[in-house]
């Protein structure tokens, strides 16, 4: 019976699973299955959804889960409220592990927008040569933008509508400053679109944008459920989980 269920898919989730396993804690990691060949964490893994709040609550009860750690991506907006509610239903402690958001520095030219639709409108207003790094599920929002050329960087090939002028680049981070400088120069990119995912794996493009004076359209994170127990590092999560498991 797993003592800890990690809702994963992030580097922090994999690191936490490894740390807990080293401590002798039974861990099972759950991945949504949206990436075809995900990086798998240490320990047992299940892939696919639970069937919403009710299905997750049933899983927690039936499998004797002692603690749920929600270490999903900051933009996985649907699973987090479902997990909070399911833990309430099943009387299982809930912990949110979410990496800190990026913050602009003095040299950054950020335009912050509330969602992907607003990002697409901002690109349509500007045109140019766009580095689109929001993930394959959001590419279709830019399909109607015909006055810009897009370099679309994704892990898996998009299966939705694409903008008329584009090149798809399949790639997986982490990315270095040298790599991002070369890519931006090669394709003469003058606008970057990203979600505020936080972390170091994909932040190099922001540093290059600041160096070059390139504008970055940054999609703000969806709000987290109010009143939840939340930490921002794997070390903090380890301490909290130890306490929750007694």
pLDDT of the residue at 114 = 97
Measured distance CA(62)–CA(175) in Å, rounded: 41
Q: What DSSP assignment string belongs to 185-218?
A: HHTT--EEEEE---SSTT-HHHHHHHHHT-EEEE
Q: Which residues of 109-142 are buried (b: 16+ CB within 10 A; e: fewer)?
A: ebeebeebebbbebbeebeeebbbbbbbebbbbb
pLDDT digits (tens, 9 = 90+) for 189-246: 999 999 999 988 899 999 999 999 999 999 999 988 887 889 999 999 999 999 988 7
The CATH code for residues 109-219 is 3.40.50
pLDDT digits (tens, 9 = 90+) for 162-175: 999 999 999 988 99
What SS3 class is residue 25?
Answer: coil
Report the candidate in 161, 142, 134, 154 with the shortest Cα–Cα distance to residue 221.
134
pLDDT digits (tens, 9 = 90+) for 21-46: 999 999 999 998 666 667 788 888 99
pLDDT of the residue at 34 = 67
Where are the domain boundaries for CATH 3.40.50.720 in the chain? 4-99+223-245
pLDDT digits (tens, 9 = 90+) for 101-110: 999 999 999 9
pLDDT of the residue at 139 = 96
Sequence-distant (≥ 6) Cβ neighbours of residue 182 within 8 angstroms: none
| CATH architecture assigned to 4-99+223-245 | 3-Layer(aba) Sandwich (3.40)
Cβ–Cβ under 8 Å, residues 196 and 220: yes
pLDDT digits (tens, 9 = 90+) for 122-162: 999 999 999 999 999 999 999 999 999 999 999 989 999 99
Q: What is the mean pLDDT of the chain?
A: 93
Measured distance CA(39)–CA(11) in Å, rounded: 9
pLDDT digits (tens, 9 = 90+) for 77-103: 789 999 999 999 999 999 999 999 999
Measured distance CA(58)–CA(51) in Å, rounded: 10
* pTM of the complete model beyond 0.85: yes
pLDDT of the residue at 125 = 98
Whether residue 1 is predicted with pLDDT greater than 80 in this model: the reply is no
């Amino acid at each position: 019976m797993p003592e800890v269920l990690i809702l994963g898919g992030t580097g922090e989730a994999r690191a936490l699973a490894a740390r807990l396993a080293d401590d002798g804690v039974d861990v099972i990691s759950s991945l949504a299955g949206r990436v075809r060949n995900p990086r798998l964490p240490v320990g047992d893994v299940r892939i696919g959804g639970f069937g919403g709040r009710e299905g997750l609550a049933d899983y927690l009860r039936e499998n004797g889960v002692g603690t749920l750690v929600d270490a999903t991506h900051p933009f996985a907006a649907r699973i987090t409220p479902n997990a909070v509610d399911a833990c309430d239903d099943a009387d299982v402690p809930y912990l949110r592990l979410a990496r800190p958001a990026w913050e602009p520095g003095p040299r950054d030219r950020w335009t912050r927008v509330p969602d992907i639709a607003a990002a697409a409108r901002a690109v349509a207003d500007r045109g140019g040569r766009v580095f689109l790094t929001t993930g394959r599920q959001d590419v279709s929002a830019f399909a109607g933008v015909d006055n810009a050329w897009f370099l679309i960087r994704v892990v898996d090939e998009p299966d939705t509508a694409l903008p008329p002028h584009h090149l798809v680049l399949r790639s997986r981070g982490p990315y270095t400053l040298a790599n991002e400088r070369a890519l931006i120069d090669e394709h003469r990119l003058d606008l970057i679109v990203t979600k505020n995912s936080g972390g170091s794996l994909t932040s190099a493009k922001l540093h290059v944008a600041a160096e070059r004076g390139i504008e970055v359209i940054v999609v703000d994170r969806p709000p987290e459920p109010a009143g939840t127990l939340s930490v921002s590092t794997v070390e903090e999560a380890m301490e909290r989980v130890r306490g929750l498991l007694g």
